[in-house]
Chains A and B, each alone.
Chain A
Amino acid sequence: MKSTLLAGALLAFATATSAYAQAIKLADVAELSGGGATVGTNWKNGIDLAIEEINAKGGVLGRKLEVTHADSQSNPGVARAQVQKALDAEPYVLLGPGYSGSVKVTAPLAAEAGITQIMGGEAAELTQAGNKFLFRTSFGQQSSMPKVAKYIHDDMKAKSVAVVWVNNDFGRGGRDVVVKELDRLGSKVVADLSTEAGQADFAADVGKIKAANPDAVFVYLNEEESARILKELKRQGVTAPLMGETTLIGQKVIELAGDAANGARGHVGLTTDAPVDLIKGFRDRFSKKYNYVPDHNGLKGYLAVYMVKATTEKMGKVDSKAFADTLHGLTIKAADEPGILMDVTFDQNGDIDRQSFLVEVVEGKQVVKQVLPKVK
């Protein structure tokens, strides 16, 4: 009796360890607390949902996916330490972080370890440093700004544009690309206004916009400052159409700016309001599991895991060294891999090409007005 029990226990142990050995280990480092908690929590939940779905259907190449989550506390220093710790456990792929600043300091670690990093940062410079292991889940500024400039020139028919941007890496990166593109298309930048992060009073900036009397205003600030300038634009009666990015028409901005957000338009790479059936399905499953509607960071986390799945199946083997090479130049079609939600192509820098959306705020709600096609 005793020996049977022992044999049973040994067998159970052996099965457990072999299943463990077979699981594909992913490591996630995200902003689970601190200022970026909303970003990181959405990202993490997106990852968990994708893994649950994939494992329920038998995993990747017959092996289950496993993920460990670590908290960067929205702090680049902590992110670096957590990524180092995660890399020491030799994961198949590293997921996160979401903040560009944290990506910037952790990307060299992953590259040195030869581990592919799929992240949420959007600053232009991230993929311009020649890192062969870094991939985006959303547009970098160099992909989104040309679409924005084209929309301002072609659809808004603006001959003169005022550009307001926040004076940090994010704002300067976006401003440089959009001004160059507007110039190339023939829309004149009549006011080029830099503002400070955390700025409270926009009366003078809006005064300058008013004086320049542009056909359109491009606003590229963080969420809170976007809300403040929207209120000030309304207060001073500026009627020129407003164009921005996700940060101008996000839910938080609408909540803060109230009426003043109505009519603002923005280019959005990913939105759960997109008129795409697969995205609607994702939104429903996510809302059912977590009891809230995800933002675009939830989509990014979800897509990151499906990028791992599609790339691994393309290789036909689990090979962390060959992973990045395979993903470069790869096009993943939603028809083949529904989890990727929309057709997507990765270039040699790890940048993304995908269709995107033009959203307008109508009576306090985001409404998708137009689907902008892939660039190539």
Chain B
Amino acid sequence: MSNLFDLLVAGLATGAIYALVAVGFTLLWQTSQTINFAQGEFVMLPAFLMLAAMHVGAPLWLAIILGILLSMILLGLAFKLLLVDPMMRHGVLPLAIATMALAIGIKEAVKQFFSAEASPFPSIVPTGDISILGHAVSLQSIGVLVVAILAVVGLTTLLNRTSLGHQMQAAAQNPTVARIIGVPVERMILLTFLINAFLVALASLLITPIYLAKFSSGEVLGQAAFIAAIVGGFNQVRGAIAGGLLIGVLDNLAASYVSTQYRAAVPLIFLIVVILFRPQGLLGRAEERTL
């Protein structure tokens, strides 16, 4: 049984990171119908930006701040202005394909300018254990969970409790009416891109100490988060969170109780079942758009 407890904690910690990335998927889809297939690479890149900052002599805290800011400029602002806006006019599918191209571009660029080999990445949480209910739980897992939960709570408070959040909701639900009542829709959409960039940078900071910084590490993450978003409900932030946690736990349980070879298949099978029997996702509502 102690094994099950460990698996649940580890799964929740990984799942919390998937959730952060999945929430970003949902945000972009809601406000601008962007399916970002480069989302995994968006998680991989900030770690390298932080490493580059450390390489030129910045201490860890400064590198983290610089990394997050640079991510918001590159993966938020520049991504929207240079790729999403011009491609959007051609429809959802060309845009989705353009993000696939972007994913390849980012991967190859990191490989070219940094290294094809993995690099170590410092952890912001100290190593060590604390005892919970008689089980040793690693501080790293707890740190990841706490940071991810704080980020999600912060985001939902912003969306549901503040005027800015309400304007974002309005811009997502009905842009035309939102414009009529004076909501700066374009600015709200840009804001969601910046929030997405912030979330992926945070996810990068949390996952890279465990997975190591490598050009290809976004592939697994992007796929897991995409599945999480669909399973939870692509049109609900809370769906993406639930989906992320669920996929994280499922993945760990599958690796332990089914087999490591088939661990990647189990979330996919789950995805198919969800699509067949509840296409709007576990928490999603059909034909509804809300943040």
A residues apposed to B, CB below 8 Å:
35, 167, 193-196, 198-201, 203-205, 207-208, 210-211, 224, 227-228, 231-232, 234-237, 252, 255-260
Which of B14, B136, B259, B260 touches A237 (beta carbons < 8 Å)? B136
- Shortest B64–chain A CB gap in Å is 18
- On whether the beta carbons of B140 and A195 are closer than 8 Å, the reply is no
- On whether the beta carbons of B252 and A200 are closer than 8 Å, the reply is no
- Shortest B15–chain A CB gap in Å is 11
Which of B6, B211, B214, B263 touches A236 (beta carbons < 8 Å)? B6
| A228-B210 contact, Cβ under 8 Å, with A203-B14, A236-B138 | yes
B residues apposed to A, CB below 8 Å:
2-3, 6-7, 10-11, 14, 116-120, 127, 129, 136, 138, 140-141, 209-212, 214, 216-217, 220, 251-253, 255-256, 259-261, 263
- On whether the beta carbons of A205 and B255 are closer than 8 Å, the reply is yes
Least CB separation from B119: chain A residue:
A256
Apart from A207-B7, A260-B127: 12 A-B pairs, beta carbons within 8 A: A167-B261, A193-B260, A196-B261, A201-B211, A203-B14, A207-B3, A210-B3, A210-B6, A234-B127, A252-B117, A256-B118, A257-B120
Least CB separation from A198: chain B residue:
B216
Interface residue SS majority, chain A: helix
Q: Given the complex of chains A and B, what is the CA–CA distance between A211 and B211 in angstroms?
A: 23
Residues in chain A near residue B256, CB distance under 8 A: 204, 207-208
- On whether the beta carbons of A205 and B6 are closer than 8 Å, the reply is no
Residues in chain B near residue A234, CB distance under 8 A: 127
Q: Given the complex of chains A and B, what is the CA–CA distance between A315 and B277 in angstroms?
A: 76
- On whether the beta carbons of B260 and A258 are closer than 8 Å, the reply is no
Can you list 29 contacts pairing A with B, beta carbon distance less than 8 Å? A167-B260, A199-B260, A200-B211, A200-B212, A203-B7, A203-B14, A204-B10, A204-B253, A205-B255, A205-B260, A207-B3, A207-B7, A208-B3, A208-B256, A224-B117, A224-B214, A231-B209, A232-B210, A235-B127, A235-B140, A236-B136, A236-B138, A252-B117, A255-B120, A256-B118, A256-B120, A256-B212, A257-B120, A258-B120
Q: Given the complex of chains A and B, what is the CA–CA distance between A35 and B250 in angstroms?
A: 33
- On whether the beta carbons of B220 and A207 are closer than 8 Å, the reply is no
Residues in chain B near residue A199, CB distance under 8 A: 260
Residues in chain B near residue A207, CB distance under 8 A: 3, 6-7, 10, 252, 256
| A200-B217 contact, Cβ under 8 Å, with A227-B118, A228-B211, A256-B119 | yes
Residues in chain B near residue A232, CB distance under 8 A: 210
- Shortest A365–chain B CB gap in Å is 16
- Shortest B60–chain A CB gap in Å is 14
Which of B127, B129, B210, B260 touches A204 (beta carbons < 8 Å)? B260
Which of A195, A228, A252, A260 touches B260 (beta carbons < 8 Å)? A195
Q: Given the complex of chains A and B, what is the CA–CA distance between A203 and B140 in angstroms?
A: 12
- On whether the beta carbons of B127 and A228 are closer than 8 Å, the reply is no
Instruction: For the complex of A and B, list the 7 residue pairs with the smallest distance between their C-beta atoms, beginning with the closest.
Output: A204-B255, A203-B10, A204-B256, A200-B211, A211-B3, A235-B138, A224-B118
Residues in chain A near residue B263, CB distance under 8 A: 204
Residues in chain B near residue A255, CB distance under 8 A: 120
Residues in chain B near residue A208, CB distance under 8 A: 3, 256
Residues in chain B near residue A211, CB distance under 8 A: 2-3
Residues in chain A near residue B252, CB distance under 8 A: 201, 203-204, 207
Least CB separation from B140: chain A residue:
A235
Q: Given the complex of chains A and B, what is the CA–CA distance between A203 and B250 in angstroms?
A: 13
Least CB separation from A259: chain B residue:
B127
Residues in chain B near residue A259, CB distance under 8 A: 127
Residues in chain B near residue A236, CB distance under 8 A: 6, 10, 136, 138
Residues in chain A near residue B217, CB distance under 8 A: 200
Q: Given the complex of chains A and B, what is the CA–CA distance between A210 and B120 in angstroms?
A: 25
Residues in chain B near residue A224, CB distance under 8 A: 117-118, 212, 214
Q: Given the complex of chains A and B, what is the CA–CA distance between A255 and B121 in angstroms?
A: 10
- On whether the beta carbons of A204 and B7 are closer than 8 Å, the reply is yes
Q: Given the complex of chains A and B, what is the CA–CA distance between A210 and B217 in angstroms?
A: 26
- Shortest B184–chain A CB gap in Å is 41
Q: Given the complex of chains A and B, what is the CA–CA distance between A287 and B140 in angstroms?
A: 40
Residues in chain A near residue B129, CB distance under 8 A: 237
Residues in chain A near residue B6, CB distance under 8 A: 203, 207, 210, 236
Least CB separation from B207: chain A residue:
A200
Residues in chain B near residue A204, CB distance under 8 A: 7, 10, 252-253, 255-256, 260, 263
Residue from A203, A232, A234 whose CB has the most chain B CB atoms within 10 Å: A203
Least CB separation from A204: chain B residue:
B255
| A200-B10 contact, Cβ under 8 Å, with A224-B212, A237-B136 | no
Residues in chain A near residue B220, CB distance under 8 A: 200
Residues in chain B near residue A193, CB distance under 8 A: 260
Least CB separation from B209: chain A residue:
A231
Q: Given the complex of chains A and B, what is the CA–CA distance between A228 and B208 in angstroms?
A: 11
Residues in chain A near residue B216, CB distance under 8 A: 198
Least CB separation from B136: chain A residue:
A237
Which of B116, B140, B251 touches A35 (beta carbons < 8 Å)? B116
- On whether the beta carbons of A201 and B120 are closer than 8 Å, the reply is no
Residues in chain B near residue A235, CB distance under 8 A: 127, 138, 140-141
Residues in chain A near residue B14, CB distance under 8 A: 201, 203
Q: Given the complex of chains A and B, what is the CA–CA distance between A35 and B256 in angstroms?
A: 31
Q: Given the complex of chains A and B, what is the CA–CA distance between A188 and B277 in angstroms?
A: 46
Least CB separation from A167: chain B residue:
B261
Residues in chain A near residue B140, CB distance under 8 A: 235
Q: Given the complex of chains A and B, what is the CA–CA distance between A252 and B210 in angstroms?
A: 16
